[in-house]
C-alpha cells in the first residue's frame, strides 16, 4: 500500500554567517497543515472535489469561470499537469480566494496511477514554472509518495 508523504515547506531564512543555510519553520512560514500558504497547491478530496489554493491561482493566472483540465503524460505516466482547456472543468472562486472544480474521475485516475488507496485528501504542490506545449502553459503537479 502506498502512503502520501506530506513534506513541510518553509521559507529559507539564511543567517548572516555564510557557513549556515537554514530553513526555518515558524508561524510566518508554515500553517497548521504543515504547508506555507504561499506554496501553490492543488488538493483533491475523497469525493473528487479539487481545490486550487490562492497561491496557485495567482501563479497560474486562473480566474473565476476559467476552464481547466488535468492531463497525464503517456510517455511518462507519473507526470501530471494542470492547464487551461476550452473543454475543461469550470472553476469557481471560493470565499477563501481558492478555486474549485469537481471530478471523481481525476481522483480515481491519480490514485490508480500511484496505487494510492486512501480516503485522505491529496495535497499536491504545483510547479512554479510551467512547461510550454503548443503555446499553452502546463503546470506540473508534483507528487511525493512513500511506500510501506
For residue 5, what is its C-alpha cell?
Answer: 508523504
Q: Output the pTM of the full model.
A: 0.73
**Tell me, what's the pLDDT at 53?**
92
Q: Is the pLDDT of residue 81 over 70?
A: yes
CB 76 within 8 A of CB 138: no
Q: Which residues, listed in sequence order, are joined to residue 126 by a DSSP beta bridge?
A: 141
For residue 28, what is its C-alpha cell?
Answer: 510566518
For residue 71, what is its C-alpha cell?
Answer: 492531463
**Tell me, what's the pLDDT at 25?**
61
Answer positive or negative: Cα dihedral of 69, 102, 146, 23.
positive
Instruction: Select from 59, 48, 51, 64 the least CA-distant residue to 100.
Output: 51
Q: What is the mean pLDDT of residues 79-94?
A: 94
Q: Is the pLDDT of residue 7 over 50?
A: no
Q: Tell me how far apart the terminal alpha carbons of the chain are, to the nearest angstrom.
A: 6
CB 81 within 8 A of CB 42: no
Q: Is the pLDDT of residue 137 over 90?
A: yes
Amino acid at each position: 500500500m502506498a502512503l502520501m508523504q506530506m513534506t513541510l515547506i518553509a521559507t529559507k531564512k539564511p543567517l548572516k554567517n555564510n557557513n549556515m543555510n537554514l530553513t526555518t519553520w515558524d508561524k510566518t512560514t508554515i500553517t497548521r497543515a504543515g504547508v506555507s500558504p504561499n506554496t501553490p497547491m492543488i488538493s483533491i478530496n475523497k469525493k473528487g472535489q479539487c481545490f486550487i489554493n490562492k497561491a496557485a491561482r495567482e501563479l497560474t493566472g486562473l480566474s473565476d469561470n476559467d476552464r481547466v483540465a488535468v492531463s497525464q503524460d503517456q510517455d511518462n505516466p507519473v507526470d501530471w499537469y494542470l492547464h487551461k482547456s476550452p473543454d475543461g472543468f469550470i472553476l469557481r472562486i471560493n470565499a477563501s480566494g481558492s478555486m474549485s472544480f469537481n471530478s471523481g474521475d481525476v481522483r480515481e485516475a491519480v490514485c490508480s496511477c500511484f496505487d494510492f488507496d486512501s480516503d485522505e485528501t491529496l495535497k499536491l504542490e504545483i510547479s512554479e514554472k510551467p512547461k510550454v506545449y503548443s503555446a499553452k502553459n502546463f503546470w506540473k503537479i508534483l507528487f511525493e509518495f512513500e511506500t510501506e
